[in-house]
Structure 1
Amino acid sequence: MYEYIKGTVELIGPEYIVVECNGIGYQILTPNPFVFSDKKGARLTIYTYQHVREDLIALYGFETHKEKQMFKKLIGVSGIGPKGALAILAFGEPEQVVRAVENEDETFLTKFPGVGKKTARQMILDLKGKLGDIMPESLETDIAPAKKQAMSSENEHGEDLEEALLALAALGYSERELRKISPQLGKEKMTTDQYIKRALQMLMK
Structure 2
Amino acid sequence: MISYIKGLLTYIKDDSIIVDVQGIGYEIICANPFAFQSFENEQVFVHTYHHIREDAQLLFGFKNEDEKYLFTKLISVSGIGPKGALAILASVDVAGFAAAIEREDDKFLTSFPGIGKKTARQIILDLKGKLVVTTAVVEDSDQPTEMANQAIITETREALKALGYTDKEIKAILPQLQKEESKNTDEVIRKALSLLMKN
Instruction: For CA contacts below 8 A with separation 6 or more, give which structure has more relative contact order.
Output: 1
User: CA RMSD, aligned part only?
Assistant: 2.8
Q: Equivalent residue for 1:189?
A: 194
Change (3 A) 1:162 1:102: closer
Say which is worse superposed, 138-147 or 78-87, in terms of deviation. Answer: 138-147
- In the TM superposition, 1:170-189 aligns within 5 A as 188-189=193-194
Rounded to whole Å, the distance in 2 between the matches of 1:162 and 1:98 is 25
Q: Return 5+ residue gaps in structure 1 as ranges.
A: 150-159, 168-183, 196-205
Say which is worse superposed, 123-132 or 53-62, in terms of deviation. Answer: 53-62
Q: Return 5+ residue gaps in structure 2 as ranges.
A: 154-164, 173-188
- The structural deviation recorded for 1:189 is 2.2
Q: Equivalent residue for 2:144?
A: 143
Q: Which has the higher helix share?
A: 2
State, as a whole percentage, how many aligned pairs show the same letter: 43
Query: TM-score, normalising length from structure 1?
Result: 0.73
Deviations 1:69-122 (A, max 9, x none): 111011011111000100111113222211111011111101111111111000
2:69 matched to 1:69? yes
* SS of residue in 2 equivalent to 1:17: strand
Rounded to whole Å, the distance in 2 between the matches of 1:9 and 1:143 is 36
2:90 matched to 1:126? no
- In the TM superposition, 1:59-98 aligns within 5 A as 59-98=59-98
Check whether the contact 2:7–2:45 (CA below 8 A) recurs between aligned residues: yes
2:17 matched to 1:14? no
Check whether the contact 1:32–1:90 (CA below 8 A) recurs between aligned residues: yes
Q: Equivalent residue for 1:164?
A: 169
